[in-house]
A and B are shown apart, each in its own frame.
Chain A
Amino acid sequence: MMELSGIRREYVVGAETVHALDQVDLTIGGGEYVSIMGPSGSGKSTLLNVLGLLDRPTAGTYRLQGEDVSGLDDNALAAHRQQHIGFIFQFFHLIPRLTALENVELPLVLTGAAPRARRERAAKILESVGLKARLDHRPDQLSGGERQRVAIGRAIIMQPSFLLADEPTGNLDTRSGGEIMQILEQLNRDGIALLLVTHDPIIGGRARRHLTLRDGKIVGDDREAKP
């Protein structure tokens, strides 16, 4: 469960203070499928970064899985990210010199897991996203859709409760974008909460809960009636 109350995030740009998030109260339960939409500069990405513990709110309280994480230091935040949150980015952010398998096992390498166990787990995950034949390919030998599938594999290898995706299909053609959405939705059906930032109303419309942001405020929070 992610609980935000009175969250503000302000940047000082020159003499001006920009309110990227302005008094946001929000609760996201386990297993939800949420889309976050809004015009550019409305604070969608900032909200996702705050939820993902990459960014610290200027004020307000954030409880993640019941624990107050607002005042934690860098290392504690890294530990929480590692344990609870998987990230998927528009530009994949794969490490170019590592193979698909090595990219997927990276979070496990950071925890100090045994090489054999982590390799097996990474291989199994890559198989589940349909990349069984691509384990030893480097990112530049993979198509966009394949790269994003590797990134998904990396995001879920620590078995997080929340999957945070920032424009995951923004850099893909319609067909591979659709495939990525199917994989993400399958993961959601398996129990991971999926938070999706997107410009695309068709993609955003597939979620069961739609958040709309404008000027750092949540101006819409619709839930679909049927689950």
Chain B
Amino acid sequence: MKPLDVARMSLQALQRYPLRTAMMLLAIAIGVAAVVLLTAVGEGARRYVTGQFSSLGTELLIVLPGRAETAGGGIQGLLVGETARELTLDDTIAIARSPRVRRVTPLVLGAGTVSYGARERDITVLGTGPAMLAIQHWTLGAGAFLPEGDLESARPVCVLGSTVARELFQSGSPVGEWLKVGDARCRVLGTLAEQGLAGGFNVDETVIMPVASAQQIFNTSAVFRILTEAMDRDSVTAARRDIIEIVKLRHAGEEDITVVTQDALVATFDTIFDMITVGLAGIAAISLVVAGVLIMNVMLVAVSQRTAEIGLLKAVGARNSQVLALFLTEAACLSLLGAVVGIAFGAGGIWLMKLVFPVLDFAAPLWASLSAVGVAIASGLVFGILPARRAAALDPVNALLRR
């Protein structure tokens, strides 16, 4: 029996009962569409989150002194970079000249006390440049941030983190007031809005000063970190190469810095969302198995309805295997057609979701659509086996007794 004839006869049999066939197609289509839509939601969420990340500084490069040998840098390198040669303000200024770098700011950190009148508080002093506000995406609460100008001039000004401002001034406005950081006096230019924890560091409990002023307080010429923002996400790699080259030239040809990017973090999120998407697909696939059970049910009814036909086929010489093939093909055709309809439903659903939530870029991954179709056909075949075997095993004499 030719495969084409098997397929034709199966389709003719399905045509015979249009309502039942339509219901079955619907059941399978819903299953396939569920897989497509749920994975599209997962994928949409992944794209949204990684998109948010790239808007929040995947262009960020952190330069630290010393060479961390671990691939990708990571937290370890960030925290315990061994100091071979210190980074300096001049390194910062040199990096700023790279055309692939949009913003640069140095970072000096140290523990200190701040006092206003009789109130005194232990805080972290953060010495940096005016570009810090944009690089860290901080927002100002009141007043202004550090002024533009020469990084090397130590001005007696500062910006307060929100907690520091609240504790020293309560409800009063600190802008324009003088206070003491360590032994140095400085004037408050502005305050930051509440930022919360960022990278394990609480900005709200810091006093931000020009980098040169902080270096004076801590009596150092070194810079703890240099924060750099590349022109865009695509130029991160080139910017990284640039920075290493520039600093290497300045450090007597020695490559003694580490540049950490946020790509590793984004990659982690990518992986997490991929796992979620796979999980969603798995849950939706259960409905395909349910559809498979329905196929089995319908095929069992079909076998008992077509007993006489099976008997006749056997009388005119059909082998058991041919009867089996006919009924299995019928189940497979049902699930294949259902899967095609389901893919169409899924595409329509994605279109609708995009219409309702234009922010999210819904898209079903190809693997999800393909495996949904695969699982649909497989469950049609697996659950088609029992009815098909029953048909094949029918005794022709008894089968022909039916009219």
Which residues in A have some Cβ–Cβ distance to B below 8 Å?
49, 52, 54-55, 74-75, 78-79, 81-83, 87, 89, 91, 93, 95-98, 106-107, 109-112, 115, 154, 158
Contact = CB atoms under 8 A, between A and B. Distances in A.
B15 interface: yes
B317 A74 contact: no
B2 interface: yes
What is the interface residue range for chain B against chain A? Answer: 20 to 34
A75 B321 contact: yes
Contacts of A79: 317, 319
B12 A97 contact: yes
Interface string B14-39: 01100000000000000000000000
A81 B315 contact: yes
Interface in B260-278: none
Contacts of A55: 397
A91 B12 contact: no
Contact of A91 (B2, B314, B321, B403): B403
Given A93-B308, A112-B2, A75 B400 contact: no
A135 to B, nearest CB: 17
B317 A81 contact: yes
Given A49-B397, A93-B315, A154-B316, 5 more contacts: A54-B397, A74-B319, A78-B320, A110-B316, A112-B1
Contacts of B403: 91
A98 B5 CA distance: 13
Nearest to B16: A97
Task: Give the one of B12, B316, B321 with max A CB within 10 A.
Answer: B316
Nearest to A94: B312
A49 B311 CA distance: 12
Contacts of B15: 97
B320 A111 contact: no
Contacts of B397: 49, 54-55
Interface in B378-403: 396-397, 400, 403
A158 B315 CA distance: 12
Nearest to B15: A97
Contacts of B5: 109, 112, 115
A44 to B, nearest CB: 13
A110 B309 contact: no
A133 to B, nearest CB: 23
Contact of A89 (B2, B12, B400): B400
A43 to B, nearest CB: 13
A107 B317 contact: yes
10 contacts: A78-B314, A78-B317, A78-B318, A81-B316, A82-B317, A93-B312, A97-B12, A97-B16, A98-B12, A158-B317
Interface string B45-60: 0000000000000000
Nearest to B316: A107
B244 interface: no
A49 B15 CA distance: 33
Contacts of B311: 93
Contacts of A74: 319-320
A52 B397 CA distance: 10
B322 interface: yes
A109 B318 CA distance: 10
Contact of B400 (A83, A93, A109, A158): A93
Contact of B319 (A78, A93, A107): A78
B313 A54 contact: no
Task: Give the one of A52, A54, A78, A82 with max B CB within 10 A.
Answer: A78
B400 A110 contact: no
A104 to B, nearest CB: 10
B315 A87 contact: yes
B13 interface: yes
The 7 nearest A-B residue pairs measured at CB = A82-B317, A107-B316, A93-B312, A97-B16, A91-B403, A54-B396, A87-B315
A98 B396 CA distance: 20
B316 A75 contact: no
Contacts of A98: 12
B316 A97 contact: no
Contact of B316 (A49, A87, A96): A87
Contacts of A154: 316
B316 A106 contact: yes
Contacts of A97: 12-13, 15-16
B113 to A, nearest CB: 93
Nearest to A98: B12
Contacts of B1: 109-112
Interface in B285-327: 308-309, 311-322
A75 B308 contact: no
Task: Give the one of B13, B315, B320, B322 with max A CB within 10 A.
Answer: B315
Interface string B356-375: 00000000000000000000
A79 B319 CA distance: 8
A90 B164 CA distance: 102
Contacts of A110: 1, 313, 316-318, 322
A45 to B, nearest CB: 9
Contacts of A49: 397
A82 B312 contact: no
Interface in B304-353: 308-309, 311-322
A111 B315 CA distance: 13
Nearest to B306: A95
A82 B318 CA distance: 8
